[in-house]
Amino acid sequence: MPADYHTHTPLCMHAEGEPEEFVAAAIAAGLDEYGIACHAPVKPEPFDDWRMLVSQLPDYFSWIERARAAAGDKLAIRCGLECDWLAGCEDWISELRASHPWDYLIGSVHYIGDQWDFDNPKWLGRWEKTDVDQVWQQYWATYIQMVDSGLFDILGHADLIKKFAYQPAGDLDHYYEPVIDAIAASGSILEINTAGWHKPCAEAYPSADFLTLAADAGIDIVISSDAHAPAEIARDFAKARQLAKSAGFSQTVKINRGQRSYEAL
């Protein structure tokens, strides 16, 4: 069973569950590895209301140690962070990278500029007043900047911008192709994120068309749930494996202190 590396803890203020419950769910799902990658702090604080603070990092490490104690030799526990790409964040991400022996860092884009966390339901009404094409252009330009930084092992939910089912009409490959080129050049791992099936867009992140281009470009993948509760661990992984195979992938990645190994789909 593929590892699940993109999962959260209650420290992000929008997840629930104890470490022991997440571990039990991962074991029940047949996972070999369970990775914890909660929303990383952002400075200056408080930045928003859906991430841990710098002062909570010791609590985060304690949460992970509880997971390791519960897992014993039944399950490998990996330690990561999901880091937001924001203007001028490079020094802070580098500082975070150096602060702990992480297994991986996930890079994600949740913000257009530094004011609009576009996937936050509280701003849903803003989409009605937005030029969707313009926002998509800005989002993908930002995503390419993140990829080009080389700061991240895994690239999170690539087309999160579609979450509320607002997307330009017609063929979207002209948005995808420059991103695919950047990911292939960076050597980063692309995430197939199953949470999208449970959002208004009703499809995984990224889309099947994006994944086909990624497979053709020889990009590595992981499958992740973006779990915010134990019941969401490894959710829809069988469906995601079929999606990956249909796109042309034959294997997924496992990662340990930045080192990759491969597992057949």
Closest CA to 19 of 82, 66, 79: 66
Is residue 1 one of the residues assigned to a domain? Answer: no
pLDDT tens digit sequence for 172-194:
999 999 999 999 999 999 999 99
Tokens linked to 24: 């039990």
Contacts of 170 (CB under 8 A, 6+ apart): none
pLDDT tens digit sequence for 137-151:
999 999 999 999 999
pLDDT at residue 2 tops 90: no
pLDDT at residue 48 tops 90: yes
Domain CATH code at residue 77: 3.20.20.140
pLDDT at residue 166 tops 80: yes
Contacts of 57 (CB under 8 A, 6+ apart): 41, 99
Rounded to whole angstroms, what are the CA distances from 174 to 81, 177, 178, 180, 209?
30, 6, 7, 10, 11
Is residue 49 one of the residues assigned to a domain? Answer: yes
Q: Give the integer Cα–Cα distance in Å for 247 and 215.
A: 6
Is residue 47 one of the residues assigned to a domain? Answer: yes
pLDDT tens digit sequence for 92-136:
999 999 999 999 999 999 999 878 999 999 999 999 999 999 999
Is residue 213 one of the residues assigned to a domain? Answer: yes
Is residue 3 one of the residues assigned to a domain? Answer: no
* Amino acid identity at 226: D
Q: Give the integer Cα–Cα distance in Å for 234 and 240.
A: 10
Rounded mean pLDDT of the chain?
A: 97
What per-residue confidence (pLDDT) applies to 1? 73
Domains of the chain: total: 1
Is residue 107 one of the residues assigned to a domain? Answer: yes
pLDDT tens digit sequence for 208-222:
999 999 999 999 999
Is residue 5 one of the residues assigned to a domain? Answer: no
Is residue 129 one of the residues assigned to a domain? Answer: yes
* Boundaries of domain holding 92: 10-264
